[in-house]
Amino acid sequence: MRLFEKIADSIKEAINGKFISIEKPHNLPADMSILSNDFNLLLESYKETFTDIDKKLKYFIGQTTSKESQTPLDESKLIITNLSNLYQFKKEIEQDQTKDEIYDRLAQVLKNQFHLKYFTIIETNLKDEKRVIIKQVGNLNFCCTTSTGNPSLCRTARTSNDVISVDFHNSCPCFTNTNYYYYCTSININKNIIIVINFILETKDELQKLKDNIPFIKSYINEAAPSIEVKILLKALKDSAFRDGLTGLYNRKFLDEYIKKSIPQITRDNKKLAVLMLDMDHFKAVNDEYGHDIGDMVLKELAVILLDNVRESDLVVRFGGEEFIVILNNIDSAESALSVANKIREQVSLNEIDIYAGTKLSKTISIGLSIFPDDGKSFDSVCKNADIALYEAKNKGRDQVVLFNQTQVSSIDLF
């Protein structure tokens, strides 16, 4: 009976995750002694097996602590369940086409699986010194608004360490709200881009629950990071193919793709677009006198002015060298296009560029303007007509806008 009681007590402890060998009572019959030894061997085998599983699973997900209320078996089952969900998550994000889809999927996991009500996913670009809110769940976000243009103000992004609400002092100088708690974690996507996730909690119990789950949460973030990096690299590769390396404007290759799609739509809708062919006056003299670095600076300044003076629906293209094309979509009339062109011309002439030691440089541009479909039935013909008008503007003394008309074709010898 004493042996039975010891075995019963040991089984109860084993159910709670404690594998304790029994001490054999004295003077046991041989068969009962063999039973006791086998029972102890079984407990030792279970203990070694569960300890090994526990260590390997925790190492796999990066977890180092466990809840005292959970048995090793329960905890292992929880880890295995999370790993299964993590595997499904990984397979899904591999099929997502954009990084926004991956961010949305990550937000769904945080909200639905971990029951987090308030969090913000922020993409920080150290090179451009920008912080962009990618996804916000709930209406609580207490990050510094000034850190949008200064990523170094974010302690998590700066240190690459988790920043957590603590008693008696404030870990994050940006978080000044005393009614809530916070937990911020981050991951480096590459040397320039860091993803920061800011969690807001309403109670200490919620904060503690998040701390318990953070190893699992980080597993999802770690799985998402490579896929996000791939999407960023693919976008950068695509941009490099369609953007000018100096000014960041779209290039001629992008213009060709853009026109293939937009001209049929313009024709169906019976609308018009204006083509502004513009060229910087005496640009060669800038390179000759000041060098190509200053010439590049002048071109970048011109690109900024062009973007600032057209609508988002319009298109600005560096066509080559100091020549640019501006596409004004859905214009009302040639007069409205002329108004935009003259505004651009005036802004360029008024702009002063600091080149060195207080020396300022001002430049002018000449613009040729042609309207589709009024001046040509194809985009190529309209571009040629805009180029003819540009030649006319140069011929008339530069720093002016000339609207194409048919008489220019016979009056200008292009070849």
Average of per-residue pLDDT across 262-271: 90
How much is the pLDDT for 412?
Answer: 55
How much is the pLDDT for 240?
Answer: 83
The burial class, CB within 10 Å (0-12 / 13-18 / 19+), for 30 is exposed
Q: Where are the domains of the chain?
A: 2-61, 96-240, 252-411
As a whole number of Å, the end-to-end CA separation of the chain is 115
Please, what's the b/e burial string for 72-90 (b: 16 or more CB within 10 A of its CB; e: otherwise)?
A: bbebbeebeebeeebeebe
Q: Give yes or no on whether 96-240 and 252-411 have one common fold.
A: no
Q: Is the pLDDT of residue 411 over 60?
A: no
| Chain-centroid distance, C-alpha 216 | 23
| Spatial distance between the Cα atoms of 392 and 388, rounded to a whole number of angstroms | 6
The verdict on whether 44 is a catalytic residue reads no
pLDDT tens-digit profile of 154-203?
A: 888 888 899 999 887 788 877 878 889 999 999 999 888 999 999 999 99
pLDDT tens-digit profile of 290-348?
A: 899 999 999 999 999 999 999 999 999 999 899 999 999 999 999 999 999 999 999 99
How much is the pLDDT for 415?
Answer: 41
252-411 belongs to CATH 3.40.50.720 = no
DSSP-derived 3-state class of residue 170: coil
96-240 belongs to CATH 3.30.450.40 = yes
Average of per-residue pLDDT across 9-29: 83
pLDDT tens-digit profile of 106-152?
A: 999 999 999 999 999 999 888 877 888 899 999 888 776 655 556 77
How much is the pLDDT for 413?
Answer: 53
The burial class, CB within 10 Å (0-12 / 13-18 / 19+), for 346 is middle
Catalytic choice (123, 206, 301, 322): 322
Please state whether beta strands 193-201 and 181-188 pair in parallel, antiparallel, or not at all (unpaired). antiparallel
How much is the pLDDT for 58?
Answer: 63
How much is the pLDDT for 103?
Answer: 94
- 62 versus 72: the higher-pLDDT residue is 72
Point out the least confidently predicted range of 7-11, 133-137, 175-179, 226-230.
175-179
Average of per-residue pLDDT across 254-276: 91
pLDDT tens-digit profile of 275-286?
A: 999 999 999 999
How much is the pLDDT for 71?
Answer: 66
- CB-facing half-sphere around the CA of 11: CA atoms within 13 A: 8
pTM: 0.60
Q: Is the pLDDT of residue 390 over 60?
A: yes
How much is the pLDDT for 152?
Answer: 72
| Spatial distance between the Cα atoms of 134 and 121, rounded to a whole number of angstroms | 6
pLDDT tier at 61, thresholds 50, 70, 90 = low
Q: Evaluate whether 403 touches 338 at the Cβ level (below 8 Å).
A: yes
| Spatial distance between the Cα atoms of 341 and 325, rounded to a whole number of angstroms | 11
Q: Is the pLDDT of residue 259 over 60?
A: yes
- Residues 262, 267, 272, 277: what is their CA dihedral angle, to the nearest 10 degrees? 50
Point out the least confidently predicted range of 60-74, 233-247, 268-282.
60-74
User: Average pLDDT of the chain?
Assistant: 87
